[in-house]
Amino acid sequence: MLKLKPMRVLLVVSLLLLPLFSSQALDAVNEQARAYREQGYRLQSIGDLAGALINYQKAVQMNPEYAEVYNDLGVVYESMGETDKALPMYKKVLEIDPNYMPTYTNLAFLYEKKGDIENATLYWKKRYLAGEQGEYWWEVSRQHLLKLGTYPEVRKAVLEQEAAKLSRELIYKNEQERLKLAEEAKLHFDLGNNAFKVKDYQTAIKELNTVLSLNVPDEKMNATSRQLVEQAERLYLRDQAYVNTKNALDYMERDDYLSAGDKLKSALTAVFRITQKE
Of 163, 189, 222, at which residue does a domain stop?
A: 163
Are 220 and 157 in the same domain? no
Q: What pLDDT is attached to residue 20?
A: 46
Of 163, 190, 206, at which residue does a domain stop?
A: 163
**Using CA atoms, how far apart are residues 100 and 120, in angstroms rounded to an integer?**
17
User: Is 171 a domain residue?
Assistant: no
Average confidence (pLDDT) over 176-200: 85
Residue range of the domain that includes 47: 29-163
Q: What is the pLDDT of residues 16-67, one digit of tens each?
A: 544 544 556 667 888 998 999 999 999 999 999 999 999 999 999 999 999 9
Q: What pLDDT is attached to residue 54?
A: 96
Average confidence (pLDDT) over 125-144: 88
Average confidence (pLDDT) over 168-186: 76
| Number of Cβ atoms within 10 Å of the Cβ of 40 | 25
**Using CA atoms, how far apart are residues 239 and 232, in angstroms rounded to an integer?**
10
Whole-number Cα distances in Å, 111 to 89, 97, 150, 214, 238: 14, 20, 14, 62, 90
Average confidence (pLDDT) over 98-105: 94
Percent of the chain with pLDDT over 90: 34
Of 163, 189, 219, at which residue does a domain stop?
A: 163
Sign of the alpha-carbon torsion through 242, 244, 247, 248: negative
Q: What pLDDT is attached to residue 201?
A: 84
Q: What pTM did the predictor assign?
A: 0.51
Most confident of the following: 19-23, 31-35, 72-76, 197-201: 72-76
**Using CA atoms, how far apart are residues 257 and 251, in angstroms rounded to an integer?**
6
Q: What pLDDT is attached to residue 113?
A: 92
Q: Does residue 221 contact residue 189 with C-beta atoms inside 8 Å?
A: yes
Average confidence (pLDDT) over 109-137: 90
Q: What pLDDT is attached to residue 157?
A: 60
